[in-house]
Amino acid sequence: MGYSYNPKSLCADEFINDEEILETLAFADAHKDDVQLCYDILEKCKPHLHPASEHGAMITHREASVLLACEDAGVNAAIKQLAHDIKQAYYGNRIVLFAPLYLSNYCVNSCLYCPYHAKNREIPRRKLTQDEIRAEVIALQDMGHKRLAIEAGEDPKHNPIEYILESMDTIYSIKHKNGAIRRVNVNIAATTVEEYRMLKKAEIGTYILFQETYNKEGYKRLHPTGPKSDYNWHTEAMDRAMEGGIDDVGLGVLFGLESYRYEFAGLIMHAEHLEAVHGVGPHTISVPRVKPAMDIDPDVFDNGIPDEMFEKIIALIRITVPYTGMIISTRESQAVRERALRYGISQISGGSRTSVGGYTEQARPHDTEQFDVSDQRTLDDVVSWLIDQEHAPSFCTACYRAGRTGDRFMSFCKSGQILNYCHPNALVTLAEYLTDYAKPDTSQKGFALIERELLKVEDEKRRRQCAEAISAVVHKGERDLRF
């Protein structure tokens, strides 16, 4: 049967409508050389900081697709500059740090792009016990991490929801020296409303689920067997998560599997759908690309995108979904991540290991990795690098723990008020890291950065409160202070 495009529908075939995407791509091809149209689209997106409530307008997936298709050098330069300006307007120069924690690589699916697929007999299968999770978390706390994203393959026998919930409880319970994990984001397979309610009760941070591809026929080909092969069940997961009370959800596609133009349009349409139905768009959008891994050759997929186009996609996501947190992982090299930070990325992983039990291993293990890690620097190296780039490394989890989630977070973010919280909280949590974990050189230049950043806090009272909190962290040993 045929389906009509309807962003308010709860049916995946209607809110990610193939006919609408194909018409969008045709529209983009027909208008990509209209340079004035492209500049007009960009003009209405420009942020206006005073008053803060007048940020630029949001554009549609069709308008964004025209910009993506445009090859004019001037337009492309303007796209990157506008993305930078929007990122500064909404999030400033802070960069939130996190680490993935792989709990289990048991999986019953047969995804052709993932080494965890059920038919891979070469990869050693492993599932962490709660004691092993404690050891991993302590190792992560000793680095300085406060925010984790837990990952597990889909396997009802080895990785049932009870295992995920018990693991979350274990992670939150561990207080080691001055360490504590304050936010646990969860990246597990699509599940039921009832199980999403259980995750909400367990104090999930963000529920993250990558679509992999929005092309339904391509999706079926890439997922031949297993519960993940049900495209609609997977694509409609965010609606069930929100019905279950989880109001912070994270989208993402795996660029390189199918046409990037198709994926980009689908991703923006998914964000539009969440806004239309729930009044809350995606809390985060991730931008992974297919990378080498055991039993996986990325050259098998003929839709790879060069760095320049990848960076343009990042910039256009920032322009089109300006309020969202944007995540780039250690799949990407230092050079790519450095450029991506200019165009809208607001969260990065640091010191990551993508193997089960990898943080307690002296040498980086590769036999259970989900993908090759391109950026293999330590967390301190990443923090030091961010400081050198005049970014403010942040370990903040205050919004989540103060109840500023979902529509409450979005109202603060879209109005430009979130910086009143995020900037001071970033500086206080950076002071924690510099005091407890940083190497001397990192600490020295980090505190110099904090002094410069304090001058940017416009409200005099808030600036004084922030300085007092930082002093309490450094001189009185207080921790977990937040605005």
User: Residue-wise pLDDT tens for the chain (483 aa)?
Assistant: 679 999 999 999 999 999 999 999 999 999 999 999 999 999 999 886 443 444 567 899 999 999 999 999 999 999 999 999 999 988 899 999 999 999 999 999 999 888 888 888 888 999 999 999 999 999 999 999 999 999 999 999 999 999 999 999 999 999 999 999 999 999 999 999 999 999 999 999 999 999 999 999 999 999 999 999 999 999 999 999 999 999 999 999 999 999 999 999 999 999 999 999 999 999 999 999 886 555 556 566 667 788 999 999 999 999 999 999 999 988 888 899 999 999 999 999 999 988 899 999 876 555 555 545 667 899 999 999 999 999 999 999 988 788 878 777 777 777 767 777 889 999 999 999 999 999 999 999 999 999 999 999 988 999 999 999 999 999 999 999 988
DSSP assigned state of 180 = E
Please give the pLDDT value at position 147.
97
The set of residues, in sequence order, having a beta carbon less than 8 Å from that of 455 and lying 6+ positions away, is 463
Superfamily of domain 92-376: Aldolase class I (3.20.20.70)
The set of residues, in sequence order, having a beta carbon less than 8 Å from that of 82 and lying 6+ positions away, is 42, 45, 46, 315, 319
Please give the pLDDT value at position 390.
96
| Token output for 238 | 């965010």
Return d(Cα 335, Cα 262) in angstroms, integer: 26
Please give the pLDDT value at position 301.
61
Q: How far is CA 258 from CA 23, 57, 165, 305, 312, in A?
A: 17, 30, 34, 10, 17
- Reported as type and span, the H/E element at residue 250 is strand 249-252
The set of residues, in sequence order, having a beta carbon less than 8 Å from that of 63 and lying 6+ positions away, is 41
Return d(Cα 290, Cα 253) in angstroms, integer: 10
Return d(Cα 106, Cα 117) in angstroms, integer: 8
Compute φ and ψ for 475, nearest 5 degrees.
-105, -20
Please give the pLDDT value at position 54.
47
**Residue given tokens 């609609």 in the structure block:** 232
- Range(s) of the chain covered by CATH 3.20.20.70: 92-376
CA angle, corner 306, sides to 252 and 265, nearest 5? 40
Q: Enumerate the β-bridge partners of residue 347.
A: 96, 327
Q: How far is CA 442 from CA 154, 180, 430, 437, in A?
A: 40, 21, 11, 10
Q: Enumerate the β-bridge partners of residue 392.
A: 94
| Token output for 222 | 């890439």
Return d(Cα 23, Cα 13) in angstroms, integer: 15
Please give the pLDDT value at position 247.
93
319 neighbors 86 (Cβ within 8 angstroms):
yes
**Quick check: helix, strand or coil at residue 361?**
coil
